[in-house]
Amino acid sequence: MHPILIRLGPLTIHTYGFLIALGFLVGLGLAMHQAKKEGIPTDRITDLGFYILLAAIVGSRLLFIFINAGHYIKNPLDVFKIWEGGLVFYGGVILAVPIAIWYVKRAGLGIWSTADIFAPSIAIGHAFGRIGCYAAGCCYGKTAEALPWGVIFTDPECLAPLNTALHPVQLYEAGGEFINFIFLVAIRRHKTFNGQIFIAYLLIYSVIRFIVEFFRGDTGRGFLVSQISVSQGISILMFVAAAAGFMVLRRRRARQ
Protein backbone atom coordinates (compact mmCIF):
# COMPACT_ATOMS: atom_id res chain seq x y z
CA MET A 1 0.00 0.00 0.00
CA HIS A 2 1.65 3.19 1.17
CA PRO A 3 4.04 2.56 4.10
CA ILE A 4 5.91 5.87 3.77
CA LEU A 5 3.78 8.99 4.06
CA ILE A 6 6.54 11.59 3.65
CA ARG A 7 10.24 11.24 2.90
CA LEU A 8 12.31 14.41 2.81
CA GLY A 9 16.03 13.65 2.91
CA PRO A 10 16.76 12.07 6.31
CA LEU A 11 13.19 12.74 7.49
CA THR A 12 10.83 9.80 7.08
CA ILE A 13 7.28 9.81 8.38
CA HIS A 14 5.68 6.36 8.30
CA THR A 15 1.97 6.20 7.53
CA TYR A 16 1.51 3.66 10.32
CA GLY A 17 2.89 6.00 12.97
CA PHE A 18 1.02 9.00 11.58
CA LEU A 19 -2.34 7.22 11.72
CA ILE A 20 -1.71 5.93 15.23
CA ALA A 21 -0.99 9.51 16.30
CA LEU A 22 -4.08 10.76 14.47
CA GLY A 23 -6.25 8.09 16.07
CA PHE A 24 -4.92 9.01 19.49
CA LEU A 25 -5.65 12.70 18.99
CA VAL A 26 -9.16 12.04 17.68
CA GLY A 27 -9.91 9.66 20.56
CA LEU A 28 -8.48 12.04 23.14
CA GLY A 29 -10.50 14.93 21.73
CA LEU A 30 -13.71 12.91 21.96
CA ALA A 31 -12.92 11.83 25.52
CA MET A 32 -12.23 15.43 26.56
CA HIS A 33 -15.51 16.54 24.99
CA GLN A 34 -17.48 13.89 26.90
CA ALA A 35 -15.62 14.62 30.14
CA LYS A 36 -16.50 18.29 29.86
CA LYS A 37 -20.18 17.37 29.44
CA GLU A 38 -19.96 15.29 32.62
CA GLY A 39 -18.20 18.01 34.60
CA ILE A 40 -14.82 16.24 34.78
CA PRO A 41 -11.65 18.40 34.46
CA THR A 42 -10.30 17.90 30.95
CA ASP A 43 -6.67 18.26 32.07
CA ARG A 44 -7.01 15.01 34.02
CA ILE A 45 -8.40 13.27 30.93
CA THR A 46 -5.48 14.60 28.86
CA ASP A 47 -2.93 13.33 31.39
CA LEU A 48 -4.67 9.96 31.59
CA GLY A 49 -4.73 9.74 27.80
CA PHE A 50 -0.96 10.11 27.57
CA TYR A 51 -0.39 7.57 30.33
CA ILE A 52 -2.63 5.12 28.45
CA LEU A 53 -0.85 5.80 25.14
CA LEU A 54 2.59 5.16 26.58
CA ALA A 55 1.48 2.03 28.43
CA ALA A 56 -0.36 0.72 25.36
CA ILE A 57 2.67 1.10 23.09
CA VAL A 58 5.03 -0.51 25.59
CA GLY A 59 2.61 -3.31 26.48
CA SER A 60 1.69 -4.15 22.89
CA ARG A 61 5.36 -4.26 21.93
CA LEU A 62 6.34 -6.40 24.92
CA LEU A 63 3.67 -9.00 24.17
CA PHE A 64 4.81 -9.25 20.55
CA ILE A 65 8.43 -9.62 21.67
CA PHE A 66 7.40 -12.31 24.17
CA ILE A 67 5.51 -14.26 21.50
CA ASN A 68 8.49 -14.01 19.13
CA ALA A 69 11.22 -14.27 21.76
CA GLY A 70 13.42 -16.50 19.60
CA HIS A 71 13.82 -13.84 16.93
CA TYR A 72 14.56 -11.02 19.37
CA ILE A 73 17.11 -13.04 21.33
CA LYS A 74 19.04 -13.42 18.09
CA ASN A 75 18.34 -9.85 16.93
CA PRO A 76 18.09 -7.69 20.08
CA LEU A 77 18.24 -4.36 18.21
CA ASP A 78 15.03 -5.28 16.38
CA VAL A 79 13.20 -4.69 19.66
CA PHE A 80 13.21 -0.96 18.89
CA LYS A 81 12.05 -1.19 15.26
CA ILE A 82 8.40 -0.41 15.95
CA TRP A 83 8.00 1.14 12.48
CA GLU A 84 8.29 -2.40 11.10
CA GLY A 85 5.11 -3.40 12.91
CA GLY A 86 4.97 -5.82 15.80
CA LEU A 87 2.39 -4.43 18.21
CA VAL A 88 -0.19 -6.76 19.75
CA PHE A 89 -3.22 -4.72 20.80
CA TYR A 90 -4.09 -6.99 23.69
CA GLY A 91 -0.62 -6.45 25.17
CA GLY A 92 -1.40 -2.75 25.26
CA VAL A 93 -4.68 -3.42 27.05
CA ILE A 94 -3.02 -5.66 29.63
CA LEU A 95 -0.53 -2.96 30.63
CA ALA A 96 -2.72 0.11 30.06
CA VAL A 97 -5.54 -1.07 32.36
CA PRO A 98 -3.51 -1.17 35.62
CA ILE A 99 -1.73 2.08 34.71
CA ALA A 100 -5.08 3.75 34.05
CA ILE A 101 -6.55 2.45 37.32
CA TRP A 102 -3.53 3.80 39.21
CA TYR A 103 -3.89 7.25 37.68
CA VAL A 104 -7.68 7.38 38.04
CA LYS A 105 -7.45 6.59 41.76
CA ARG A 106 -4.67 9.12 42.19
CA ALA A 107 -6.71 11.81 40.41
CA GLY A 108 -9.82 11.05 42.45
CA LEU A 109 -11.91 9.99 39.46
CA GLY A 110 -14.43 7.18 39.26
CA ILE A 111 -12.90 4.08 37.64
CA TRP A 112 -15.98 2.85 35.79
CA SER A 113 -17.32 6.27 34.81
CA THR A 114 -13.90 7.22 33.42
CA ALA A 115 -13.69 3.91 31.55
CA ASP A 116 -17.05 4.69 29.96
CA ILE A 117 -15.74 8.05 28.77
CA PHE A 118 -12.75 6.43 27.09
CA ALA A 119 -14.45 3.35 25.59
CA PRO A 120 -15.62 4.94 22.30
CA SER A 121 -12.25 6.70 22.01
CA ILE A 122 -10.41 3.39 22.25
CA ALA A 123 -12.57 1.97 19.46
CA ILE A 124 -12.09 4.92 17.09
CA GLY A 125 -8.38 5.18 17.87
CA HIS A 126 -7.90 1.48 17.20
CA ALA A 127 -9.75 1.79 13.89
CA PHE A 128 -7.27 4.44 12.75
CA GLY A 129 -4.42 2.24 13.91
CA ARG A 130 -5.63 -0.69 11.82
CA ILE A 131 -5.80 1.53 8.75
CA GLY A 132 -2.18 2.29 9.54
CA CYS A 133 -1.49 -1.45 9.60
CA TYR A 134 -3.09 -1.69 6.16
CA ALA A 135 -0.82 1.06 4.83
CA ALA A 136 2.27 -0.64 6.28
CA GLY A 137 1.23 -4.15 5.26
CA CYS A 138 1.64 -5.55 8.76
CA CYS A 139 -0.92 -7.85 10.40
CA TYR A 140 -1.75 -9.06 6.88
CA GLY A 141 -4.33 -11.62 5.86
CA LYS A 142 -4.38 -15.06 4.32
CA THR A 143 -4.30 -15.52 0.56
CA ALA A 144 -7.56 -14.61 -1.16
CA GLU A 145 -6.98 -15.24 -4.86
CA ALA A 146 -10.63 -16.07 -5.51
CA LEU A 147 -12.04 -12.99 -3.81
CA PRO A 148 -12.70 -9.79 -5.81
CA TRP A 149 -11.72 -7.64 -2.83
CA GLY A 150 -8.38 -9.34 -2.23
CA VAL A 151 -5.64 -6.71 -1.84
CA ILE A 152 -2.26 -6.98 -3.57
CA PHE A 153 0.74 -5.31 -1.94
CA THR A 154 3.40 -4.16 -4.40
CA ASP A 155 5.50 -1.63 -2.50
CA PRO A 156 8.79 -3.35 -1.52
CA GLU A 157 8.76 -1.51 1.82
CA CYS A 158 5.45 -3.14 2.81
CA LEU A 159 5.62 -5.87 5.43
CA ALA A 160 3.08 -8.12 3.70
CA PRO A 161 3.91 -10.74 1.03
CA LEU A 162 4.08 -8.96 -2.32
CA ASN A 163 2.14 -9.57 -5.52
CA THR A 164 -0.32 -11.96 -3.88
CA ALA A 165 -4.01 -11.30 -3.25
CA LEU A 166 -4.64 -11.24 0.49
CA HIS A 167 -7.61 -10.74 2.78
CA PRO A 168 -7.60 -7.05 3.83
CA VAL A 169 -7.98 -8.11 7.46
CA GLN A 170 -6.74 -4.75 8.67
CA LEU A 171 -9.77 -3.14 7.05
CA TYR A 172 -12.07 -5.86 8.40
CA GLU A 173 -11.00 -4.98 11.91
CA ALA A 174 -11.00 -1.23 11.26
CA GLY A 175 -14.56 -1.49 9.94
CA GLY A 176 -15.60 -3.52 12.96
CA GLU A 177 -14.11 -0.93 15.30
CA PHE A 178 -15.81 1.96 13.48
CA ILE A 179 -19.13 0.13 13.92
CA ASN A 180 -18.23 -0.54 17.55
CA PHE A 181 -17.56 3.18 18.05
CA ILE A 182 -20.91 4.19 16.54
CA PHE A 183 -22.75 1.64 18.69
CA LEU A 184 -21.05 2.77 21.90
CA VAL A 185 -21.87 6.42 21.24
CA ALA A 186 -25.47 5.49 20.42
CA ILE A 187 -26.05 3.54 23.64
CA ARG A 188 -24.45 6.19 25.82
CA ARG A 189 -27.75 8.03 26.22
CA HIS A 190 -29.37 4.80 27.45
CA LYS A 191 -26.66 4.02 30.01
CA THR A 192 -28.07 2.72 33.31
CA PHE A 193 -24.89 2.02 35.32
CA ASN A 194 -21.23 3.02 35.31
CA GLY A 195 -19.05 0.59 33.42
CA GLN A 196 -21.77 -0.36 30.94
CA ILE A 197 -20.18 1.35 27.94
CA PHE A 198 -16.68 0.05 28.62
CA ILE A 199 -17.87 -3.51 29.16
CA ALA A 200 -19.93 -3.29 25.96
CA TYR A 201 -16.72 -2.29 24.18
CA LEU A 202 -14.87 -5.31 25.58
CA LEU A 203 -17.65 -7.71 24.61
CA ILE A 204 -17.93 -6.40 21.07
CA TYR A 205 -14.22 -6.12 20.42
CA SER A 206 -13.45 -9.59 21.73
CA VAL A 207 -15.94 -11.02 19.21
CA ILE A 208 -14.56 -8.88 16.37
CA ARG A 209 -10.99 -9.91 17.10
CA PHE A 210 -11.83 -13.60 17.51
CA ILE A 211 -13.48 -13.66 14.07
CA VAL A 212 -10.88 -11.55 12.28
CA GLU A 213 -8.06 -13.78 13.52
CA PHE A 214 -9.33 -16.61 11.29
CA PHE A 215 -8.44 -14.49 8.25
CA ARG A 216 -5.00 -13.41 9.45
CA GLY A 217 -1.99 -14.77 7.59
CA ASP A 218 0.93 -13.54 9.68
CA THR A 219 2.26 -16.37 11.84
CA GLY A 220 4.29 -14.04 14.07
CA ARG A 221 1.25 -13.34 16.24
CA GLY A 222 1.66 -16.73 17.92
CA PHE A 223 -0.65 -19.70 18.47
CA LEU A 224 -1.89 -21.54 21.54
CA VAL A 225 -3.11 -24.78 19.95
CA SER A 226 -3.70 -25.75 16.35
CA GLN A 227 -5.30 -22.75 14.60
CA ILE A 228 -6.25 -20.87 17.77
CA SER A 229 -4.03 -17.81 18.08
CA VAL A 230 -2.85 -16.13 21.25
CA SER A 231 -5.18 -13.21 20.52
CA GLN A 232 -8.14 -15.57 20.14
CA GLY A 233 -7.34 -17.11 23.51
CA ILE A 234 -7.25 -13.64 25.07
CA SER A 235 -10.51 -12.79 23.26
CA ILE A 236 -12.25 -15.74 24.91
CA LEU A 237 -10.98 -14.77 28.36
CA MET A 238 -11.92 -11.13 27.79
CA PHE A 239 -15.45 -12.01 26.68
CA VAL A 240 -16.04 -14.24 29.71
CA ALA A 241 -14.60 -11.67 32.12
CA ALA A 242 -16.59 -8.83 30.54
CA ALA A 243 -19.82 -10.82 30.61
CA ALA A 244 -19.28 -11.63 34.29
CA GLY A 245 -18.45 -7.98 35.00
CA PHE A 246 -21.60 -6.84 33.23
CA MET A 247 -23.80 -9.08 35.39
CA VAL A 248 -22.06 -8.02 38.61
CA LEU A 249 -22.35 -4.30 37.88
CA ARG A 250 -25.97 -4.60 36.75
CA ARG A 251 -26.94 -6.49 39.91
CA ARG A 252 -25.11 -3.91 42.03
CA ARG A 253 -27.05 -1.16 40.31
CA ALA A 254 -30.35 -3.00 40.89
CA ARG A 255 -29.67 -3.15 44.65
CA GLN A 256 -29.11 0.60 44.90
pTM higher than 0.75, yes or no? yes
pLDDT averaged over every residue in the chain: 90
Q: What is the pLDDT of residue 2?
A: 84
- The CA-atom distances, in angstroms, between 90 and each of 37, 95, 148, 205, 208 are 30, 9, 31, 11, 13
16-48 pLDDT tens trace: 889 999 999 999 999 999 999 999 999 999 999
196-241 residue pLDDT tens:
999 999 999 999 999 999 999 987 777 888 788 988 999 999 999 9
Mean pLDDT of the region 67-91: 76
Q: Return the axis-axis angle of helices 89-107 and 111-136, rounded to nearest 10°.
A: 150
Q: Break the chain into its structural domains and give their ranges.
A: 4-255
What is the band of 256 on the pLDDT scale with cuts at 50, 70, 90?
low
